[in-house]
Amino acid sequence: MEKIRNIAIIAHVDHGKTTLVDQLLKQSGAFRQNQQLAERIMDSMDLEKEKGITIKAKNASFQYADYKINIIDTPGHADFGSEVERSLGMVDGVLLLVDSVEGPQAQTKFVLKKALAQNLPALVLINKIDRPNAQPIQVLDQVFELFLELEASEKQLDFPVLYVSAKEGFALKEWKKEISEQDRKNGFRPLFEAIITHIPSPTIYPDSSFKLLVANLDYSDYLGRIAIGKVFSGSIQVGSPLFCYHKSSQLSCGSVTAILGFKGLERVALNEASAGDIVGIAGLEEVYIGDTLSDSEKVIPLPRVEVDPPTVRMRIVVNDSPLAGKEGKFLTARHIYERLQKEARTNVGLRVQETDIPGTFEVNGRGTMQIAVLVEQMRREGFELMVSRPEVIYKEDTSGIIYEPIELLLVDIPQENLGGVMEMLSKRAGNIRLMKNSQSRVFIECLIPTRGLIGFKTEFINLTRGEGYCSHLFHEYGPKQGEVEIRKRGVLVSMERGLSTTYALENLQQRGVLFIGPGVEVYEGMVVGEHKRPGDLLVNPCKAKHLTNIRSQGEGKAIGLEPPRIFRLEEALEFIDADEFVELTPTKMRIRKKILDAHERKKASLKVGS
């Protein structure tokens, strides 16, 4: 056990965690020399590769000298914070990765706070030192200030530091601008030695009984459900009896059918698992994250994994549009509910519940992206469904005061964009806490309601022309703020069913921005564009030009259509209003009104107004 190290790599999104893991595995000899490897080996999901972010925490392992090092690559986006929280329960130390240009960001603060709360030692890595605008010494000062702000102990404040380039694959014990050839040849050797020196061997319980805390779940067609976690005490062999202590104090039993360890990225079958190991155990069908596995039915379960509560909710609805059922394989409420329940078992940050409306389910999560990723996975699996606009989850105390989630927003922008960003924050009820100028850029720290962040990023990127950075994380529940201005304009709503025509769209593009091109199948109540003015406008995108035997003045002129605005799923969810859905099929995404008929829609709005 003294030769085992269990570590998690934590950082803000895009600070280089997955690239670092790639290099650790390559330089430790976890792969054959002739083995073909893609970039970001740990990002196994299609969505992870497309978005360039880590969504699910993943386990790997490698040997250095005679030490076995288990590593967990965690997500960096705030919406997937629950993956980080449960991963920290498996490890005995963390590698805190910080970008040498951007410095500590919102999620850096979140993950470090969770690690310090569990009294885990941190090895700080200042990454991307090969960039021309790197400022590692200033960033190190910011990291130290962050430790102080989070009230780290004296021992935690005395953290070791390495300066690394995950992309180039080398680490330095001391910062220097000129990187020698010898430094590059040494590679990650200083990092391997620092892990062995500064990360302690596994903490275990002085108990003879086998105990494992389930921190992750997987499924195999051959083995069934696999519970992954750290062994806190005792040992277990294949064929041993297995007991599971659930949250409800219920006890289920079975036997160990397989024990899986990690070697590189592969899983290998083991005969035995001992205290300190991170392993997967098969043999129980009903097992959930936070449960305790043991070989005895008379033990005290380990403390459960506790995660922060959800702050955003959306409704997922059975698709009832006129074009429903043409593409998908899974269309019914039963199919959708079973899939949502399956996701909730493995994702502790999600809550799924049925509503009073048939075919409508409420999904609560950490943020829009977390739920959008789930919905995108479902559509790729063959589901058809509709999703409502994100709403924040309010709380009410005994005195009737309503509280809403407040986020800490960090913004780094060019000086010339300050006025526009300040105006945008004021409209979204932002409360500025800190503003700092440095050369030609401005850093702003503010508290803003979660509902004020819906649609914020798209508007922010457009305003700063892609030159601004922004990150956020949940801060606290606070008294409800004033009204937040989100969407100023109405939409263009189709009043006909048919195929859109170039002739009709040429006239409509003068009224706003189109979401469709010619030859697209539309139906009554479908949103085909954004109106230039407030209020919705009924339009006919299927109108055809009447042919006559009289030659018109404009005959033969080419019709010029602007390219339609194409939404990503998160953008569409943040764009829609309370009376609209995003309709998803395996190949198409449409925006539509909840009530398709224009007269019924008007009646419903009058009822709401009265």
Same domain, yes or no: 51 and 157? yes
SS (H, E, C) 80-105: HHHHHHHHHHHCCEEEEEEECCCCCC
Lowest mean pLDDT among 192-196, 346-350, 473-477, 554-558: 554-558
Among residues 451, 479, 507, the one where a domain terminates is 479
Burial 591-608 (b: 16+ CB within 10 A, else e): bbbbbbebeebeeeeeee
Whether 534 is in a domain gets the answer no
pLDDT of amino acid 492: 92
Q: Reduced to 3 states, what is the DSSP secondary structure of residue 294?
A: strand
pLDDT in tens, 410-437: 888 888 888 888 888 888 888 888 888 8
CATH number for the domain spanning 264: value is 2.40.30.10
129 marked as binding residue: yes
pLDDT in tens, 287-301: 887 888 888 888 888
Q: Are 11 and 97 spatial neighbours (Cβ–Cβ below 8 Å)?
A: yes
pLDDT in tens, 47-94: 555 555 555 666 778 888 888 888 887 775 666 666 677 777 778 888
Same domain, yes or no: 193 and 227? no
pLDDT of amino acid 428: 86
Q: Does the pLDDT at position 35 exceed 70?
A: no
Same domain, yes or no: 98 and 224? no
Q: Give the span between the Cα atoms of 206 and 324, in whole angstroms.
A: 59
Same domain, yes or no: 114 and 262? no
| Number of compact structural domains in the chain | 3
Same domain, yes or no: 54 and 173? yes
Same domain, yes or no: 44 and 77? yes
Please return the burial class of 609, using the count of CB atoms within 10 Å of its CB with bins 0-12, 13-18 and 19+: exposed
Among residues 435, 461, 479, the one where a domain terminates is 479
Q: Give the span between the Cα atoms of 495 and 523, in whole angstroms.
A: 7
Whether 83 is in a domain gets the answer yes
Q: Does the pLDDT at position 387 exceed 90?
A: yes
Q: Does the pLDDT at position 516 exceed 50?
A: yes
Nearest to 262 by CA among 69, 83, 10, 73: 69
Whether 55 is in a domain gets the answer yes
Q: Identify how many contiguous H helices and E strands the chain contains and give both numbers.
A: 15, 35
pLDDT of amino acid 36: 47
pLDDT of amino acid 53: 59
pLDDT of amino acid 550: 56
pLDDT in tens, 483-506: 777 777 889 999 989 998 888 888
pLDDT of amino acid 292: 87
Q: Rounded mean pLDDT of 25-29?
A: 75
Structural domain harbouring 266: 211-294
Q: Does the pLDDT at position 197 exceed 80?
A: yes
Whether 107 is in a domain gets the answer yes
pLDDT of amino acid 299: 82
Same domain, yes or no: 126 and 270? no
CATH number for the domain spanning 472: value is 3.30.70.240
Tell me the range of 242-246, 450-454, 526-530 where mean pLDDT is highest. 526-530
Same domain, yes or no: 251 and 112? no
pLDDT of amino acid 273: 87
pLDDT of amino acid 554: 52
Nearest to 86 by CA among 74, 71, 96, 78: 74
Q: Are 160 and 198 spatial neighbours (Cβ–Cβ below 8 Å)?
A: yes
Half-sphere exposure for 81 (CA within 13 Å, toward CB) = 26
Q: Reduced to 3 states, what is the DSSP secondary structure of residue 267?
A: strand
Q: Does the pLDDT at position 30 exceed 70?
A: no
Q: Give the span between the Cα atoms of 527 and 592, in whole angstroms.
A: 5
The tokens for 433 are 């806490």
Q: Give the span between the Cα atoms of 278 and 107, in whole angstroms.
A: 26
Q: Categorize the per-residue pLDDT at 556 as very low, low, confident or very high, splitting at 50, 70 and 90.
A: very low
239 marked as binding residue: no
498 marked as binding residue: no
Whether 99 is in a domain gets the answer yes
pLDDT in tens, 203-212: 777 777 888 8
- Please give the mean pLDDT across all residues of the chain: 82
Whether 531 is in a domain gets the answer no
SS3 content of the chain, % helix, strand, coil (to 5): 25, 30, 40
Q: Categorize the per-residue pLDDT at 34 as very low, low, confident or very high, splitting at 50, 70 and 90.
A: very low
In Å, the largest CA–CA distance within the chain is 96
Among residues 479, 497, 531, the one where a domain terminates is 479
Same domain, yes or no: 175 and 60? yes
Please return the burial class of 119, using the count of CB atoms within 10 Å of its CB with bins 0-12, 13-18 and 19+: exposed
pLDDT of amino acid 119: 85
Whether 526 is in a domain gets the answer no
66 marked as binding residue: no
89 marked as binding residue: no
Whether 332 is in a domain gets the answer no
207 marked as binding residue: no
Question: Residue 60 is which amino acid?
Answer: A
pLDDT of amino acid 551: 54
Q: Rounded mean pLDDT of 579-602?
A: 89
pLDDT of amino acid 334: 92
Q: Give the span between the Cα atoms of 574 and 458, in whole angstroms.
A: 9
pLDDT in tens, 436-478: 887 788 888 889 888 888 878 878 888 888 788 787 878 888 8
Same domain, yes or no: 194 and 223? no
Distances (CA, A) of 305 to 115, 166, 518: 13, 31, 52
CATH number for the domain spanning 146: value is 3.40.50.300
Q: Rounded mean pLDDT of 514-542?
A: 90
DSSP string, 424-475: HHHHTT-EEEEEEEETTEEEEEEEEEGGGGTTHHHHHHHHHTT--EEEEEEE
pLDDT of amino acid 318: 92
CA angle, residues 181, 183, 184, in degrees to nearest 5: 65
19 marked as binding residue: yes
Same domain, yes or no: 422 and 284? no
Q: Categorize the per-residue pLDDT at 26 as very low, low, confident or very high, splitting at 50, 70 and 90.
A: confident
Tell me the range of 149-158, 179-188, 525-534 where mean pLDDT is highest. 525-534
18 marked as binding residue: yes
Higher pLDDT, 279 or 28: 279
Q: Which residues share a beta bridge with 353?
A: 362
Q: Are 349 and 370 spatial neighbours (Cβ–Cβ below 8 Å)?
A: yes
Same domain, yes or no: 58 and 120? yes
Q: Are 413 and 464 spatial neighbours (Cβ–Cβ below 8 Å)?
A: yes
